[in-house]
Amino acid sequence: MPKINRYVDIDTVEKEAKKDFIDRHSPFIHCEGQAKAGEPFAVTIKMGDEYTHPDDFDHYIKSITLFNGETELTKAEFAAGALGNEKGHQTVTFNIVPTGKKLKLIAHAYCTKHGIWESDPVEVAVA
């Protein structure tokens, strides 16, 4: 099983290089806090909050996967150069159709050089 890296509170990190490394590899989930069952619900995942990630042929974000708990909902894959070989925030918006009473959204992103990175979970109420 591959190692899964997690975001740590940037305030607890002392060196700027570590802040940059952690932030640019962490996926951040952006969505509303409530969804309607059976209706499309937009979930945007952005790589990095403050720092951009490289887009080189040997170091880029290859995929972003969205889970509801342990269930994979959807996945986007990218090729090297998708951001024009410039540092950037790889971003994807998924439209999912929620069921049940709540969602526990978690994103995984795969960096070709530094492995799998997991977001903080985001809970969404479903009415």
Residues 67-110 have pLDDT tens digits of 999 999 999 999 999 999 999 999 999 999 998 999 999 999 99
pLDDT of residue 48: 93
d(CA 82, CA 50): 20
- Could you give the CA distance from residue 106 to residue 55 in angstroms, rounded to a whole number? 23
pLDDT band at 10 (very low <50, low <70, confident <90, very high): low
Whether the predicted pLDDT of 115 surpasses 70 = yes
Mean pLDDT of the chain: 91
3-state SS string over the chain? CCCEEECCCHHHCCCHHHHHHHHHHCEEEECCCEECCCCCEEEEEEECCCCCECCECCECEEEEEEEECCEEEEEEECCCCCCCCCCECCEEEEEECCCCCEEEEEEEEEECCCEEEECCCEEEEEC
The reply to whether the predicted model has a pTM over 0.85 is: yes
The whole-angstrom distance between residue 81's C-alpha and the CA centroid of its chain comes to 19
Average pLDDT over residues 6-34: 79
Q: Is the dihedral of CA 93, 20, 55, 115 positive or negative?
A: negative
Domains delineated in the chain: 4-126 (2.60.40.730)
In percent, the amount of the chain with pLDDT more than 70 equals: 89
Region 38-63: mean pLDDT is: 95
pLDDT category of residue 15 using cuts at 50, 70 and 90: low
